[in-house]
Amino acid sequence: MQKQVLTLQQKLSPQQIQMIKLLELPAMQLEQRIKREIEENIVLEEDEHLSEEEPQQISVEEYLREDDTPSYKSRINNISKDDKPRQAPLVGGRSLQEYLVEQLGYRNLSEEEMRLAVYLVGSIEEDGYLRRDLETIADDVAFALGIDVTAERLEGLLRIIHDLEPAGVGARNLQECLLLQMEQQRLDTPARRLALKILKSYFDEFVKKHYEKLMARLQVSRDEFREAIEEIRRLSPRPGNLYSEGGTDTTPYITPDFLLDYHEGRFDLSLNSRNLPEARINQRYVEMMRDMVSPDGRVKEENREAVQFVKSKIDSAKWFLSAIKQRHDTLMRTMQEILDYQQEYFKDGDMSKLRPMILKDIADRTGLDVSTISRVVNSKYVQTQFGIILLKSLFSEAMQTESGEEVSSHAIKQILQQCVDEEDKHRPLTDETLMDILNAKGYRIARRTVAKYREMLGIPVARLRKQV
């Protein structure tokens, strides 16, 4: 039996979806997105002299009547008075993989062994670990290189890679990584020999910091055990990060989306658009349309398809430029409200002055949706006189003191961090003790909340903070 059902659905248009994606992009990715659009849309070009008129959807006849095609300008109030253009240094160098392949060249390997070893090196990640199992790599080798190889043969080649620098490279887990580094050292002291024994036979107990149990099992004094632990701490858990000549991305670079200056009691907020390509619609395509349309405004039949193609490209370009401008407006509107809300904090960066703030607070002040605010603050940074700040980190829940005053959860985290920094590492503070300290300071907080904030700060439990 057939029946007709009427349903109401809300769907986003392709343009709305693209606008949302543009809003989410941080400055560096936006630069790449604009460059890609210029490459893909033949009517867009980079230009220095741009009109600030907002692009609009118009007809073919209006295209032909225009003296100039509307465009957008991204450099609007984006450089402060004392801002000077700086040349970003470009550094060249070898990657970790290139360094390993160079070392393999000094080993006595056959041509086929060299190809297999290079393939293994290519599977090593930037931190120096080989996280793919050898059976999977063997299957990939058969497909990519046409070589039928066993996991056992790859294991033999991996042992050669384990002898290369940096020590520990090619390890498949933390224990193997530390053991490889320890075995490359001269075991000429009791402390190093004990450290090797701990890593080989008691790794789980070491990781869980069951120190008292380990000392009893190994039958060593506290001083002997402490010296062995110090030897282990000198090893690197990420050997790949130790090697960098500029050819890798181990050093994170942040391009701020906003620039904020505070001088003589006044804030100067601007968008950082210094590296963004400036674009406009190429006039040659408007002239091309003019040539293909008769004086009375009619499009010749043989030119109809070409005119339609160029018009669709110009419409797409105009919409993209308009969307970029709308993105700029939304970002500035949101950041201005955050600045107004957190003025005391932005004066000197004192975290204790940070007011409790959630996404809804800024959504209400801007009149935008909460999801829009979330997209704006996600992965966006503001450069201030006291450092580059992730916008998302400024949002926090409100906590209430015994006097009824509302404070930011950042204040609680600051106290927790200070307590842990100043604690006796031989007797670290438990979550319950930290709760008692905060309650004594007037903060109403439960032990599970203390545990949540401790984990957010990346602080391990008391047992794992204990030192010998």
More confident residue, 90 or 290: 290
- The single-letter code of the amino acid at 293 is V
> Which residues of 245-342 form beta strands (DSSP E)?
258-263, 266-271, 279-281
**How remote is the C-alpha of 239 from its chain's centroid?**
21
Q: Cα–Cα distance between 361 and 358 in angstroms, integer?
A: 6
Of 104-118, 142-156, 301-315, 434-448, the one with minimum mean pLDDT is: 301-315
Helix (H), strand (E) counts: the chain: 21, 8
pLDDT in tens, 46-103: 765 544 444 444 444 444 444 443 443 333 344 444 444 443 333 344 678 888 988 8
- The single-letter code of the amino acid at 444 is R
Q: Which of 412, 423, 408 is nearest to 452 (CA)?
A: 412
pLDDT at residue 9 above 60?
no
> What is the 8-class DSSP label of residue 389?
E
Nearest 10 degrees: Cα torsion 39, 40, 44, 48: -20
CA angle 118, 124, 125 (to 5 degrees): 145
The token pair at 238 is: 């990420």
Which residues are CB-neighbours of 403 under 8 A, at least 6 positions away? 442
The predicted model scores a pTM of 0.52
Q: Cα–Cα distance between 429 and 461 in angstroms, integer?
A: 9
More confident residue, 222 or 275: 222
Q: Cα–Cα distance between 136 and 31 in angstroms, integer?
A: 38
In angstroms, the Cα distances linking 202 to 112, 206, 211 are 39, 6, 11
Provide the pLDDT for residue 86. Answer: 43
Check if the beta carbon of residue 41 is closer than 8 Å to that of residue 320: yes
Q: Cα–Cα distance between 373 and 395 in angstroms, integer?
A: 11
**How remote is the C-alpha of 194 from its chain's centroid?**
40
pLDDT at residue 11 above 70?
no
pLDDT in tens, 375-418: 888 888 999 988 888 888 888 776 666 666 666 677 778 888 88
Q: Cα–Cα distance between 380 and 374 in angstroms, integer?
A: 10
Check if the beta carbon of residue 351 is closer than 8 Å to that of residue 457: no
Check if the beta carbon of residue 142 is closer than 8 Å to that of residue 148: yes
> Which residues of 229-344 form beta strands (DSSP E)?
258-263, 266-271, 279-281
pLDDT in tens, 293-319: 666 667 667 677 777 887 888 888 888
Residue 226: phi and psi, rounded to 5, are -60, -40
Provide the pLDDT for residue 102. Answer: 87
Provide the pLDDT for residue 296. Answer: 66
- The single-letter code of the amino acid at 274 is R
Provide the pLDDT for residue 14. Answer: 63
Provide the pLDDT for residue 401. Answer: 66
pLDDT band at 176 (very low <50, low <70, confident <90, very high): very high
Name the β-bridge partners of 384: 387
Q: Give kind and range of the element (H or E) at residue 448.
A: helix 447-456
Query: How buried is residue 316: exposed, middle or buried, by Cβ count under 10 Å (0-12/13-18/19+)?
Result: middle
Length of the chain counted residue by residue: 468
All domains in the chain, ordered by first residue: 12-81+249-395 (no CATH), 96-242 (no CATH), 398-465 (1.10.10.60)
Q: What is the 3-state secondary structure (H, E, C) of 261-285?
A: EEECCEEEEEECCCCCCCEEECHHH
Query: How buried is residue 23: exposed, middle or buried, by Cβ count under 10 Å (0-12/13-18/19+)?
Result: buried
- The single-letter code of the amino acid at 104 is L
- The single-letter code of the amino acid at 345 is Y
Which residues are CB-neighbours of 415 under 8 A, at least 6 positions away? 437, 438, 441, 443
Query: How buried is residue 111: exposed, middle or buried, by Cβ count under 10 Å (0-12/13-18/19+)?
Result: exposed
> Which residues of 136-237 form beta strands (DSSP E)?
none
Strands 44-46 and 398-400: unpaired
Q: Cα–Cα distance between 359 and 396 in angstroms, integer?
A: 9
In angstroms, the Cα distances linking 7 to 4, 158, 355, 464 are 10, 61, 45, 57
Residue 246: phi and psi, rounded to 5, are 100, -5
pLDDT at residue 251 above 50?
no
In angstroms, the Cα distances linking 244 to 89, 123, 237, 255, 467 are 16, 18, 16, 21, 32
> What is the 8-class DSSP label of residue 443?
B
Provide the pLDDT for residue 455. Answer: 83
Provide the pLDDT for residue 423. Answer: 85
